Structure 1
Amino acid sequence: MRETTPQVFLIARPALDPDGLRGYLEAVGGASWLDRRAGSDAEALVEFAGRACYRSWEPGLNPNVTRIRTDQREYLDNVLASGHGSVLEHASFTFAFRDVSRVFTHELVRHRAGSAFSQESLRYVRLSEIGFRVPPALEPMRERVISIVEQLEELQVRAAQELGLDEDGVPFAVKKEATSALRRLAPLGLSTDIVWTANARTLRHVIALRTAPGAEEELRLVFDMVASIAVAEAPSLFQDFTREADGTWVPARGRV
């Protein structure tokens, strides 16, 4: 058995195309925005989408707009305050979660809106070794927990031997069927990997929900890390979040 600790990696973020931006803005008369553009590409993309809704690149492009906010942070704070959450959906981030449990992934995939998932498949990946994290609530019986997991790991290895899965000439379809069946004998808490893409609106929602005091312990641990990464990556999109001492992230602007 391999004792594990969840890890979070940001592996993809929005990237703007300067030529495309300039071409569009020259067409609509808002090229001066490029000189004011600030922050990360994610923040700029959300601002771009918001300004496109009202043609608020410059005063006068829309006769109804005589003044515009030129400070990006102030502009995005107004987006959050007004609940114009749809523009946040243009900016997506991709995370790779390493050594999280299937308890974690079963709860994560409930957040379908604004998300994409690609999880390690135990129909194809044989469990020759079981990674496992002993949750804090089970620390008083740590040795017994580890012993049980080690027995389950040994069962996986011996079953593969008895079924002859590594013998020459065994068709892949046979290996797949046996591997799929054997995963039923693995603990739900075994460590696995999953790739998750979420737009900024979804990310705000999941961070608030999954770091709340009533959330599952592992999700609170992992999304505390996710929140720290998100705030560092696009501070203006998460500027209203406050981290409390217990790891709870609370948005002042609420749901957008």
Structure 2
Amino acid sequence: MRHVEPEVSLIAKPQIDWESVNAYLDDVGGRVWSDRVQPSESPDGEDLVEFSGRMCYRSWEPGLNPNVSRVRTDSSAYVGNVIRSQHGSVLEHANYTFILHNVSRVLTHELIRHRAGCAFSQESLRYVRLDELPFWFPEWAREDEELMERSLKVLDTLEEHQAWMASHFGLDEEGTKFAHKKHMTSFMRRFAPEGLGTGIVYTANLRSLRHVIEMRTAPGAEEEIRLVFGKIAEIMQDEAPAVFADYSVEDGAWVPGTRKA
């Protein structure tokens, strides 16, 4: 058994093709917007949200839409107004991809319930044979000596059983067909604990992230997923500060000032 800690890394985020954006804006007369925004240091994810919102109303500058006589020129203020007005559809254009490493299947079973605006690719234990059982214990559990002693014995037994089955089924013998390996590995995973550390690629748009962060950092959320989404929230506050500016943190719970965005 190897003790692990859940880890979160952002591995992909929006990147705007400004050449294509500018070609469109030249055609509709909105180039003044990109001339202002492109040189700034605002994140592309927020720029994409703003672009999508302004396209809806042709509000690149006053007069392009005869109904629009004035526009916000501060991008953070614009995105903040999107959040306050709950114009959440434009948030769905910006997607962020994370690798969640050393997280348990307790967590992933709960995570994949959030299907809207998300994509998942999880390590498959039908194909990936276990030779150890990485496991996370929360701090309160590590402080309980009797609990740890008994738990580690269980995990050591399960880990030894994985090694025994691999030998018993001849999985490392020369000439063993992959189909046999897959069949037996699929059976062997039945003896893996649900708390086993695994990996999952998780992609979500900004609208979904706002919702899941609130739900999964709430006081009643499961402790591991609460820990992980606290880390995701911190990453996203750095990546899209205007989108997450309305959040306050109360005892680990990320609470939005505006809901249903």
For Structure 1 versus Structure 2, the TM-score category normalised by the shorter chain is over 0.9
Cα displacement (A) at 1:137: 5.3
Specify the alignment match of 1:92 in structure 2. 95
Q: Please give the alpha-carbon distance, in whole angstroms, between the structure 2 residues aligned to 1:42 and 1:148.
A: 46
Cα displacement (A) at 1:108: 0.5
Specify the alignment match of 2:253 in structure 1. 248
Cα displacement (A) at 1:104: 0.5
Cα displacement (A) at 1:114: 0.3
Paired residue for 2:199, among 172, 193, 197? 193
Specify the alignment match of 2:226 in structure 1. 220
Give 3-state SS (helix, strand or coil) of 2:220's partner. Answer: coil
- Checking the alignment, whether the CA contact within 8 Å between 1:134 and 1:145 is kept in structure 2 is no
Q: Please give the alpha-carbon distance, in whole angstroms, between the structure 1 residues aligned to 2:98 and 2:135.
A: 21
Q: Please give the alpha-carbon distance, in whole angstroms, between the structure 1 residues aligned to 2:80 and 2:232.
A: 21
Aligned Cα RMSD in Å? 0.9
Residue-by-residue CA offset, 1:168-211 (whole Å, 9 max, x unaligned): 11100000010001101110000000000000000110000000
Cα displacement (A) at 1:50: 0.2
Cα displacement (A) at 1:35: 2.0
**Aligned residue identity for 1:22:** N
Residue-by-residue CA offset, 1:130-157 (whole Å, 9 max, x unaligned): 1001234544211211111111011001
Specify the alignment match of 1:153 in structure 2. 159
Uncovered stretches (5+) of structure 1, i.e. residues with no partner: none
Does residue 233 of the first structure (1) align with residue 239 of the second (2)? yes
Cα displacement (A) at 1:110: 0.5
Aligned residue pairs, count? 255
Deviates more, 1:127-136 or 1:178-187: 127-136
Cα displacement (A) at 1:56: 0.2
Specify the alignment match of 2:13 in structure 1. 13
Specify the alignment match of 2:30 in structure 1. 30
Q: Please give the alpha-carbon distance, in whole angstroms, between the structure 1 residues aligned to 2:16 and 2:136.
A: 39
Task: Return the TM-score normalized by structure 1.
Answer: 0.98
Summarize the alignment of residues 48-59 of structure 1 with structure 2, pairs less than 5 Å apart: 48-59=51-62
Residue-by-residue CA offset, 1:95-120 (whole Å, 9 max, x unaligned): 00010000000001001000010100
Uncovered stretches (5+) of structure 2, i.e. residues with no partner: none
Q: Please give the alpha-carbon distance, in whole angstroms, between the structure 2 residues aligned to 1:207 and 1:143.
A: 34
Specify the alignment match of 1:210 in structure 2. 216
Specify the alignment match of 2:121 in structure 1. 118
Task: Return the TM-score normalized by structure 2.
Answer: 0.96
Q: Identity of aligned pairs, percent?
A: 57
Specify the alignment match of 1:4 in structure 2. 4
Runs of 4 or more, structure 1, over 6 Å off, are none
Q: Please give the alpha-carbon distance, in whole angstroms, between the structure 1 residues aligned to 2:64 and 2:148.
A: 66
Q: Please give the alpha-carbon distance, in whole angstroms, between the structure 1 residues aligned to 2:33 and 2:257.
A: 28
Residue-by-residue CA offset, 1:26-83 (whole Å, 9 max, x unaligned): 0110000012214100000000000000000010000110000000111011101111
Q: Please give the alpha-carbon distance, in whole angstroms, between the structure 2 residues aligned to 1:87 and 1:232.
A: 20
Q: Please give the alpha-carbon distance, in whole angstroms, between the structure 2 residues aligned to 1:145 and 1:137.
A: 14
